[in-house]
Chain A
Amino acid sequence: MSASRYALSVWQRNFAMYRRTWKLNILPNFFEPILYLVSIGIGVGAYVSQMGGVSYVAFLAPGLVAVAAMNGASFEVTYNAFVRMNFEKTYASMLTTPIQPDDVLAGEVLWAMTRAGIYGGCFFAVIAAAGLAPLPTSLWALPLIPLTGLLFAALGIAFSLRIPNIDLFSYYFTLFLTPLFLFSDVFFPLAERLPRWGQQVAEVLPLLHPVRLVRAAFSGAFSPILLWDLAYIFALSAGLLWLAARVTRRRLGE
């Protein structure tokens, strides 16, 4: 990918749209964590005294920060990017200016990371206000939010570029993101419940790595496996973006 400062123009286009509607959009970002905390914290939490050495709500909180980042990025590079590319002809119009296909891709990924940052950031703020994020150590989670955004922007855009029909996104959300959400250390410690082969499968899935990193930031306990988590995120993102750049150049330059 050979993106340039023109990627910033693409980012600014999306930002101009968002600035118009952010007051409407941002409220749900705050409600979602509150709903989770109230429902599971007060409901399920009452039956589960402890998990992973902390209260159940405290166990849940870091995983949900990573999930919020995943969701924030995923919507941008799936439905929204698909509409911009195929219906609104946004990219066709950008390519009449000095903007190149690589800039479009880089700008969209940057924007998805920004949305992940807003979404995950709001979530973090609520959790911190509820006293569930030990300060200052949990602040290490903040840079992990856009990093999670990068990973899921790369996954989502690689999928979006290959599908011919917007309805296929329901597969992506239901058959890919939902299982990730359920089996990535968010709701229960995988190591305690899954057999060895199950843990090995989970290790391949992308959400486990951001969750483990954010959880470590919250607990302040460093372990060497976190280096593997970081390496996984960077390597998979880079590989997918390299692929996406090739497809973008071909699709936008036909």
Chain B
Amino acid sequence: MAASSRPIDGEPPVVACRGLRKRYRDRYAVDGIDLDVPRGICFGLLGPNGAGKTTTLRMVYGVTRPSAGSVRVFGLDVAREARRVRARLGVTLQENALIEALSAEDNLRVFGRYHRIPRAELERRIDELLDFLELRSHAGLPVRALSGGFQRRLAIALSLVNRPELLILDEPTTGLDPAVRLALWERIRELREGGTTLLLTTHYMDEAERLCDRLVILAEGRVVADGAPAALIRELLAPQALELAVGEPEEAAALEGLDGVRRLRAGRRLVLYVADAGALLETLRHRGATGDPRAVVVRPANLEDVFLALTGTRLEGDA
């Protein structure tokens, strides 16, 4: 089935999921996902906690067996050829699994042996990775003595030891300080420019917006949005956002007769999505309905708005 769904002219996707489902007891963690990750892009998997991101990743690299559906990676059936598939990809798990008593170098050596990389070749790659992820200064110290940022960089280095064509990153920058995050984004971009395909999950919308060429948003095990970040914002919301401090009782009067304004409410805060936020603000000022003027914000709509609209606070009104 997946073979026949390949485009005739283009290259087959690096990852192709069809009708993917995973049931745990009476609940579907993943409930019918179709996914195509083309070669050489950075592909994001977004969604609230429990949306099925990690389970989907585990099925992609063939450690969790799907309840239904199929996964092909590099054109190979993961259920049958997990070993061959995993030889060509790398995975950075959400939780670092480092050997804390060993140094960064020795961790890389142990992990390289998991791939049965010949010794001389392995030493060469370790040398490259110590530079690429800036690990060299503390490469000989036991990992337990080193910072969270260092440990995370090492965890990513481990998943690169076999020079993967596909790198899977499960929340790569969660819990890291802003400087480390920026540095890691830079590395991820370099990998993509070098031809590596990236598949990542994240809770940070700014990260997804900056890194991902394409993304899907998952909620309750299903895909609820699919596209490039900018296109998703344009298509699902509107280019601009107007934030106001207006309570629920005043909301209806303030917006009376204004059709086509999408709204999102979070407590006292009301966010309106429109093509021209300045013009809307003028209209509301005339009506004296802007609430506290100090709380008024006009800004471009972003991925976080889309995310909240699709997965969090209910979005009301319609275009």
- Tell whether, in the assembled complex, residue B86 and residue A97 are in contact, meaning their CB atoms are under 8 Å apart: yes
- Tell whether, in the assembled complex, residue A16 and residue B97 are in contact, meaning their CB atoms are under 8 Å apart: no
CA distance A108 to B83 in the complex (A): 19
Q: Which residue on A lies nearest to B84, using beta carbons?
A: A98
CA distance A12 to B116 in the complex (A): 11
Cβ contacts B134-178/A at 8 Å (1 or 0 each):
000000000000000000000000110010000000000000000
Cβ contacts A193-226/B at 8 Å (1 or 0 each):
0000000000000000000000000000000000
- Tell whether, in the assembled complex, residue A92 and residue B65 are in contact, meaning their CB atoms are under 8 Å apart: no
- Tell whether, in the assembled complex, residue B86 and residue A96 are in contact, meaning their CB atoms are under 8 Å apart: yes
Please classify how large the interface on chain B is, using the bins under 10, 10 to 19, 20 to 34, 35 or more.
20 to 34
- Tell whether, in the assembled complex, residue A89 and residue B101 are in contact, meaning their CB atoms are under 8 Å apart: no
Q: Does B18 touch A at the CB level, under 8 Å?
A: no
Q: Which among B87-95, B198-206, B277-285, B306-314 touches the partner chain?
A: B87-95
Q: Known: A88-B97, A98-B86. Contact between A16 and B111, CB under 8 A?
A: no
Q: From the candidates A9, A20, A88, A252, name the one contacting B114 in the complex (CB within 8 A).
A: A9
CA distance A9 to B111 in the complex (A): 9
Residues of A near B97 (CB, < 8 A) are: 88-90, 92-93
The winner among B63, B64, B109 for most chain A CB atoms within 10 A is B63
CA distance A94 to B114 in the complex (A): 7
- Tell whether, in the assembled complex, residue A12 and residue B63 are in contact, meaning their CB atoms are under 8 Å apart: no
CA distance A6 to B84 in the complex (A): 13
- Tell whether, in the assembled complex, residue A96 and residue B101 are in contact, meaning their CB atoms are under 8 Å apart: no
Q: Which residue on B lies nearest to A99, using beta carbons?
A: B114
- Tell whether, in the assembled complex, residue A20 and residue B102 are in contact, meaning their CB atoms are under 8 Å apart: yes
CA distance A96 to B109 in the complex (A): 16
- Tell whether, in the assembled complex, residue B102 and residue A96 are in contact, meaning their CB atoms are under 8 Å apart: no
Cβ contacts A78-115/B at 8 Å (1 or 0 each):
00000000001110111111111000000000000000
- Tell whether, in the assembled complex, residue B110 and residue A16 are in contact, meaning their CB atoms are under 8 Å apart: yes
Tell me the dominant secondary structure on chain B's binding face: mixed
Q: Does A164 touch B at the CB level, under 8 Å?
A: no
Within 8 A of A (CB), among B65-119: 65, 82-84, 86-87, 90-91, 93, 95, 97, 99, 101-102, 106, 109-111, 113-116
Q: Known: A12-B110, A88-B97. Contact between A96 and B115, CB under 8 A?
A: no
Residues of B near A12 (CB, < 8 A) are: 110, 113
Shortest C-beta distance, B278 to chain A (Å), equals 50
Within 8 A of B (CB), among A7-54: 9, 12-13, 16-17, 20-21
Residues of A near B65 (CB, < 8 A) are: 253
Residues of A near B114 (CB, < 8 A) are: 6, 9, 13, 94, 97-99
Q: Does B43 touch A at the CB level, under 8 Å?
A: no
The winner among B102, B106, B116 for most chain A CB atoms within 10 A is B116
Q: Does B273 touch A at the CB level, under 8 Å?
A: no
For A, the interface residue count at a CB cutoff of 8 angstroms equals: 24
- Tell whether, in the assembled complex, residue A9 and residue B116 are in contact, meaning their CB atoms are under 8 Å apart: yes
Residues of A near B102 (CB, < 8 A) are: 16-17, 20
CA distance A88 to B96 in the complex (A): 9
Q: Which residue on B lies nearest to A12, using beta carbons?
A: B113
CA distance A90 to B114 in the complex (A): 12
Q: Known: A6-B114, A16-B110. Contact between A96 and B91, CB under 8 A?
A: yes
CA distance A17 to B99 in the complex (A): 8
Q: Which residue on A lies nearest to B86, using beta carbons?
A: A98
Shortest C-beta distance, A2 to chain B (Å), equals 11
Q: 8 closest pairs, A vs B, by CB? A: A93-B97, A96-B91, A97-B114, A89-B97, A98-B83, A95-B63, A9-B113, A98-B87
Pairs A–B under 8 Å by Cβ, sample size 24: A5-B116, A9-B113, A9-B114, A9-B116, A12-B110, A13-B113, A16-B99, A88-B99, A89-B95, A92-B93, A92-B97, A93-B97, A96-B61, A96-B63, A96-B159, A97-B162, A98-B82, A98-B83, A98-B84, A98-B115, A99-B114, A253-B64, A253-B65, A254-B64
Q: In the complex, given contacts A17-B102, A92-B93, A98-B82, what are 15 additional A-B residue pairs having Cβ atoms less than 8 angstroms apart?
A: A9-B113, A16-B102, A20-B101, A20-B102, A90-B99, A92-B63, A92-B97, A93-B93, A96-B86, A96-B159, A97-B86, A97-B87, A98-B116, A99-B114, A253-B64
**Footprint of A on B, CB under 8 Å?**
24, 61, 63-65, 82-84, 86-87, 90-91, 93, 95, 97, 99, 101-102, 106, 109-111, 113-116, 158-159, 162
